[in-house]
Structure 1
Amino acid sequence: MKKITDMMVIVLMVFVAGTVKAQHAYFPTEGTILYDKTVHVKNLLKRHISTLKDDNFSQKYYQELMDRVSETAVLKKKVSFRGEEMSLESVKETYDPIVSNLLRSGLLDYQQTLYQDLSKSVSKSTFEIGGSPVLIQDSLLHVKWKITNEYRNIAGYDCRRANGVTLDSVYVVAFYTDQIPLSAGPGTVHGLPGMILGLVVPEQHFNIYATDVKFGSPTIKTVAGRKRDEPMTRQEARGRLKDILGRWMSDQQLNLLFAAMFL
């Protein structure tokens, strides 16, 4: 009788342990994530000045800003996800006048709204350049990844590091968690076995890390544009903007500009 009782206790303990483990391994499929995007403003301005064509006026203007602008600026972003869909939007904040002007110019951030449907491999984004709307509609961005054995805790999640290359030569570092199974992140960079909670783009002088994760049914912000706004692929946008801006910008500056738009 004692042996039967001991066996029942063991079975019960295994069952309870399995239940606890199953509860711990909950994989949410919908929710919102808040991120802080830290832009290293002075480093970004230095890079911008170095790529300018011979234009003493522009160089002098940005050099004067260097003496007055803060070292970094922190921008707020929100990702909403449900199933295979996600959207990214900027959270409105009040910034100092210099940072606000740099945001309006697109130098720090294009403040784009992004929508992606991973099941259909569709990516849509909209932003403004010089007050004119730009609507990008294309397939998902291709990223070549190499997953490492380095880990970092971000917003309470153990995240694994992956190094990637996208847009031909842009190097990115991502930290993802497989506890949120959607293969997305705070931008167009995706393709890892879980949600990206940390992203570093050295060439663009920014990093973005999650600060808060909440589960529940979110509002996915779709991207449609106005009826007269003609959607362009990334390649079409690149060609059109190069035709317009090529006379003032070097190829290096244009490549940096396109990477900022498309990431």
Structure 2
Amino acid sequence: MIKTYLTIIISCLTGLSLQAQYAYFGNRGTISFDKVTYTKARMRQMSNDMSSKMMDRGMGFMEHLDKMPESHTDRMNLYFDENATVLMPEESTSTEKQNGEGKMRAPNVTANGRGGRNQGGARGGGGGNQRGMLRGGANKNGKVLYQDLKAGTADIQLDIDEKYLLSETLDSITWRFTEEFRNIAGINCRRVNGATKDSLYLIAYYAEEIPVSAGPALSHGLPGMILGLVIPEMHIQYWATNIAYTNNLVPTDWRDKKSKQMKLEEFSALFGRYMPRNRQNESAKKRILEQLVY
């Protein structure tokens, strides 16, 4: 009888040990994201934001707007541990989704959190030159977003005419919690509504099951990993499609030693004149940061 009791106790302790081990592995891993970009909506908004001078230069491009796909999806990987994250594109090319053809792997969410196709993301394809980058986003094959969660800093590596490594402090985000939940990649996630200090509206779904305060596009500040992120103004959505837990630290070999290092303020001074603005008091830094991050 005593031997039986001892066996039961040992089994229970072993089970607790395995649970604790699983919780530890939950701090490290790789999350696959679909970044859904609503191309037409983004291009229409950018045309409205352009000054008349820039509009004249872009009229030839806008004439072909009806021929553009409604959206396209880029596959992204977020590597995370308890101290940092790195977001970078998968090596495979993006998959364009024509209107009415096929299904998105990730759900669509409108500004009120319900399904729909007229909200979400578009930032256009990346350009290989300065103006192309600022109008349509950095070359997606060269952009990497890194955040140091302990130091509260971020690095953005991008490839325009040459590689740049931009350093910036992580902006604070004000979050408001809701009682809405959604299952994303098999995990129950809670919805929160957020706003950056520049009043950019965000919708996020985070999972306490992954106890790392981070997410795609340098999102952070919640008691768990963000698995769904919607930026209505930018017409962009991120949705996790797969989660793989590991015991690996975030990779560091993404940094290009030949990258030109500078502060985001310096980069804004160099490239800010190319940015479309829709408000007189909107800073070039804000517009550049939105373009590069989201």
TM-score where L is the length of structure 2? 0.72
Equivalences, count: 247
The residue that corresponds to 1:42 in the other structure is 40
* 2:61 pairs with 1:30: no
The residue that corresponds to 2:236 in the other structure is 206
Paired AA for residue 187 in structure 1: A
Paired AA for residue 68 in structure 2: V
Q: 1:227 offset after TM fit, Å?
A: 4.8
Q: Distance in 2 between matches of 1:257 and 1:167?
A: 15
Q: 1:19 offset after TM fit, Å?
A: 4.9
Q: 1:170 offset after TM fit, Å?
A: 0.7
The residue that corresponds to 1:5 in the other structure is none
The residue that corresponds to 2:78 in the other structure is 79
Unaligned runs of 5+ in 1: 1-7
Q: Distance in 2 between matches of 1:197 and 1:96?
A: 20
Asked if 2 retains the 8 angstrom alpha-carbon contact of 1:41 and 1:108, the reply is: no
Q: Distance in 1 between matches of 2:126 and 2:244?
A: 28
**3-state SS of 2:70 partner:** coil
* 2:186 pairs with 1:175: no
| Alignment partner of 2:192 out of 154, 162, 184 | 162
Unaligned runs of 5+ in 2: 97-121
TM-score where L is the length of structure 1? 0.80
Q: Distance in 2 between matches of 1:72 and 1:228?
A: 31
Q: 1:91 offset after TM fit, Å?
A: 1.1
Paired AA for residue 245 in structure 1: Y
Structural mapping, 1:80-159, within 5 Å: 80-95=79-94, 102-104=125-127, 105-106=132-133, 107-110=135-138, 111=140, 112-129=143-160, 131-159=161-189
Paired AA for residue 23 in structure 1: Q
Asked if 2 retains the 8 angstrom alpha-carbon contact of 1:39 and 1:108, the reply is: no
Deviation readout 1:135-178 (Å, 9 max, x if unpaired)? 21122221111111111000000001111111411111110001
The residue that corresponds to 1:259 in the other structure is 290
1:146–1:207 distance in 2 versus 1, CA, 3 Å: same
Asked if 1 retains the 8 angstrom alpha-carbon contact of 2:28 and 2:246, the reply is: yes
Paired AA for residue 244 in structure 2: K
Q: 1:93 offset after TM fit, Å?
A: 2.7
* 2:268 pairs with 1:245: no
Q: Distance in 1 between matches of 2:246 and 2:234?
A: 33
Q: Distance in 2 between matches of 1:155 and 1:228?
A: 35
1:155–1:109 distance in 2 versus 1, CA, 3 Å: farther
**3-state SS of 1:231 partner:** strand
Asked if 1 retains the 8 angstrom alpha-carbon contact of 2:27 and 2:82, the reply is: yes
The residue that corresponds to 2:67 in the other structure is 68
**3-state SS of 2:41 partner:** helix
Mark the structure with the bigger radius of gyration: 1
